[in-house]
């Protein structure tokens, strides 16, 4: 490619100055891309302690894509329309996809100022058109629904008056429609937007609705939804296999000026790994603590398989005195694996590293048989997994005799032996999973919600 350089010395200096500025800009941009690429490589391929979860990975990718788009937009602005370049510029590849057909279309026609022929001034006729679609948004708009109930009276019978009855309201005498209350709930619990921020958004629209009023709406909706929540809980507890977990939820303690610890107990059902007949579901229950009485009350009538960690409360559920059938506990392999991982991440821990490799071999089989029937999973486990599990137990027992009984690795090894019956229960039943990941994932929305504090814990009991 040849470039015509100016003969004038001042023009040459100006060109050199522009080129140096552009070189610095590109160098800075390249350094930024290199830094982001290094972060992504470390997040995906680095040590486990440095890896990002999928959500953080998405944020990193967004940063890179935003930086690239910013640079491209800057280049477009610096290249005036119609300006010749030394080499033809490659058209940027843009993949917008087809906009959904169900969206309403607003057609805007841009006609020339004149349709007279520029040569002979004769009338011109349309021979075609170019069309382009862009995605638009109408911002959320509050509106007032005015309900009119006309009264009708008979001119002959003065006492006869007819009027339609007033419709039922979620909040008697309140101003919100059911759709508005539903939107407040979805914003709070699904999109993690606390009530005080929603009140601030409403204030921008000239609506002076404070946080306490919104909390009252949420409480009224919670009361209305209690039968639905109870029905969901009954359906989940009617499943032959469930997963249980609990997580802390701070609740305001009126009069003390601080929060106290409440707990959400989650009961989940996920039969998809073995092609079960029921869809996945989860039911949450609030309790002021995580003691035995709360777990026992939650599962007092349940008979079936309970996936759980090694928490003592769950072990008491398997008491033979609970009656015929009882509860069968299936313990979580990831909780055991996590103990070895914490030791291995410090380095120079060959026993912990070997334990991780042996457990990884079991999970490799699980990935292969996922989505098969329960019988097929059980058969595969009996053939492929059971020999590895039996060898793992012999290895754990042998290693336990080689290490100090007060060491962390001995504690990790003993954990597996103490919970062995529940850990290996998945070998004989294809409906049982190796871990409790399904229920732990259901706790993520709770952890992400910005505010779980309320002046009345009754909101969370349902």
- Whether residue 338 has pLDDT greater than 50: yes
- Whether residue 453 has pLDDT greater than 50: no
d(CA 443, CA 9): 69
Per DSSP, what are the bridge partners of residue 285?
265
- Whether residue 56 has pLDDT greater than 70: no
- Whether residue 193 has pLDDT greater than 50: yes
Q: Per-residue pLDDT averaged across 19-34, rounded?
A: 79
d(CA 450, CA 178): 24
Domain assignment of residue 93, yes or no = no
Highest mean pLDDT range out of 48-52, 77-81, 249-253, 358-362? 358-362
- Which of 444, 459, 389 lies closest to 421, judged by CA? 389
Strands, DSSP E only, in 310-414?
327-331
Domain assignment of residue 404, yes or no = yes
d(CA 461, CA 459): 6
The residue among 59 and 301 whose pLDDT is bigger is 301
Read off the pLDDT band of 450 (50, 70, 90).
very low
Domain assignment of residue 253, yes or no = no
Share of residues in the chain with pLDDT > 90 (%): 49
CB 363 within 8 A of CB 356: no
d(CA 314, CA 306): 8
DSSP state of 133: -
Return the C-alpha torsion angle 255, 259, 262, 264, nearest 10.
130
* Full domain range(s) for residue 210: 178-228
d(CA 98, CA 183): 29
Domain assignment of residue 260, yes or no = no
Task: Identify the pLDDT of residue 27.
Answer: 82
DSSP state of 170: S
End-to-end CA distance of the chain: 72
Domain finish residue from 163, 194, 228: 228
The angle that helices 211-237 and 195-204 make with each other, rounded to 10 degrees, is 130
Read off the pLDDT band of 446 (50, 70, 90).
confident
**Neighbour-count burial of 127, counting CB atoms closer than 10 A to its CB (0-12 exposed, 13-18 middle, 19+ buried):** exposed
The residue among 314 and 52 whose pLDDT is bigger is 314
Q: What are phi and psi of 125, to 5 degrees?
A: -120, 155
Task: Identify the pLDDT of residue 87.
Answer: 42
d(CA 19, CA 3): 13
Domain count along the chain? 2
Q: What are phi and psi of 269, to 5 degrees?
A: -130, 130
Task: Identify the pLDDT of residue 452.
Answer: 42
Tens-place pLDDT, residues 386-412: 999 999 999 999 999 999 999 999 999
Task: Identify the pLDDT of residue 133.
Answer: 92
Q: Per-residue pLDDT averaged across 128-132, rounded?
A: 91
Tens-place pLDDT, residues 141-162: 899 999 999 999 988 887 888 9
Average pLDDT, the chain: 83
d(CA 43, CA 350): 24
- Whether residue 289 has pLDDT greater than 70: yes
Q: Which two tokens stand for residue 157?
A: 């019978």
Query: Would you list the DSSP string of 69-127?
Result: HHHHHHHHHHS-TT---SSPPPPPP----PPPTTS---------S--B-TTT--B----
CA 239, distance to chain mean position in Å, is 25
Tens-place pLDDT, residues 259-283: 778 888 999 999 999 988 899 999 9
Taken in order 339, 345, 346, 349, the sign of the CA dihedral is positive
How many Cβ atoms are within 10 Å of 193's Cβ, its own excluded?
17
Domain assignment of residue 217, yes or no = yes
Read off the pLDDT band of 318 (50, 70, 90).
confident
Domain assignment of residue 73, yes or no = no
Read off the pLDDT band of 460 (50, 70, 90).
very low
Strands 304-308 and 327-331: parallel
Domain assignment of residue 271, yes or no = no
- Whether residue 43 has pLDDT greater than 80: no
The residue among 448 and 449 whose pLDDT is bigger is 448
Task: Identify the pLDDT of residue 451.
Answer: 41
d(CA 302, CA 238): 8
Which residues are CB-neighbours of 266 under 8 A, at least 6 positions away? 244, 245, 246, 247, 282, 283, 284, 439, 442, 443
Read off the pLDDT band of 36 (50, 70, 90).
low
Domain assignment of residue 221, yes or no = yes
- Whether residue 320 has pLDDT greater than 60: no
Q: Per-residue pLDDT averaged across 117-145, rounded?
A: 90
The residue among 56 and 370 whose pLDDT is bigger is 370
The residue among 56 and 213 whose pLDDT is bigger is 213
Q: Per-residue pLDDT averaged across 225-246, rounded?
A: 93
């Amino acid at each position: 490619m040849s470039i015509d350089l100016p003969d004038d010395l001042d023009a040459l200096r100006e060109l050199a100055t522009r080129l140096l500025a552009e070189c610095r800009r590109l160098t800075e941009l390249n350094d930024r891309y290199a830094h982001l690429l290094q972060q992504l490589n470390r997040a995906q391929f680095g040590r486990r302690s440095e890896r990002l979860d999928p959500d953080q990975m998405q944020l990193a990718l967004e940063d890179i894509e935003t930086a690239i788009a910013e640079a491209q937009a800057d280049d477009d602005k610096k290249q005036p329309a119609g300006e010749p370049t030394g080499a033809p510029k490659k058209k940027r590849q843009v993949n917008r996809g087809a906009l959904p057909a169900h969206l309403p279309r607003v057609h805007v026609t841009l006609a020339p100022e004149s349709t007279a022929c520029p040569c002979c001034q004769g009338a011109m006729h349309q021979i075609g058109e170019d069309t382009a679609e862009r995605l638009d948004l109408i911002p959320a708009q509050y509106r007032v629904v005015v309900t009119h109930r006309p009264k009708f009276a008979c001119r002959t019978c003065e006492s006869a008056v007819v009027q339609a009855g007033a419709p039922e309201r979620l909040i008697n005498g309140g101003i919100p429609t059911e759709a508005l209350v539903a939107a407040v709930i979805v914003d709070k619990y699904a999109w993690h937007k606390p009530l005080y921020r929603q009140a601030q958004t409403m204030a921008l629209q000239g609506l002076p609705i404070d946080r306490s009023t919104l909390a009252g709406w949420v409480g009224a909706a919670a009361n209305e939804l209690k039968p639905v929540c109870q029905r969901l809980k009954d359906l989940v507890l009617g499943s032959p296999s469930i997963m249980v977990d609990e997580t802390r939820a701070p609740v305001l303690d009126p009069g003390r000026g601080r929060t106290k610890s409440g707990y959400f107990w989650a009961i989940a059902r996920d039969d998809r790994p073995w092609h079960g007949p029921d869809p996945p579901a989860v039911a949450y229950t609030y309790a002021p603590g995580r003691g035995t009485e709360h777990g026992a009350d939650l599962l007092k009538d349940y008979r079936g398989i309970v996936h759980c960690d090694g928490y003592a409360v769950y072990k008491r559920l398997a008491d033979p005195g609970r009656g015929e059938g009882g509860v069968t506990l299936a313990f979580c392999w990831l909780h055991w694996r996590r103990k070895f991982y914490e030791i291995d991440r410090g380095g120079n821990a060959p026993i912990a590293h070997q334990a991780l490799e042996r457990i990884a071999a079991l999970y490799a089989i699980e990935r292969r048989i996922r989505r098969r029937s329960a019988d097929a999973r059980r058969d595969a486990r009996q053939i492929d997994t059971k020999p590895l599990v039996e060898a793992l137990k012999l290895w754990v027992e042998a290693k336990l005799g080689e290490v100090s009984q007060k060491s962390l690795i001995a504690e990790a090894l003993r954990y597996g032996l103490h919970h062995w019956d529940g850990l290996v229960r998945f070998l004989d039943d294809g409906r049982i999973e190796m871990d409790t990941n399904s229920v732990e994932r259901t706790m993520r929305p709770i952890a992400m919600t910005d505010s779980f504090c309320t002046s009345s814990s009754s909101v969370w009991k349902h």
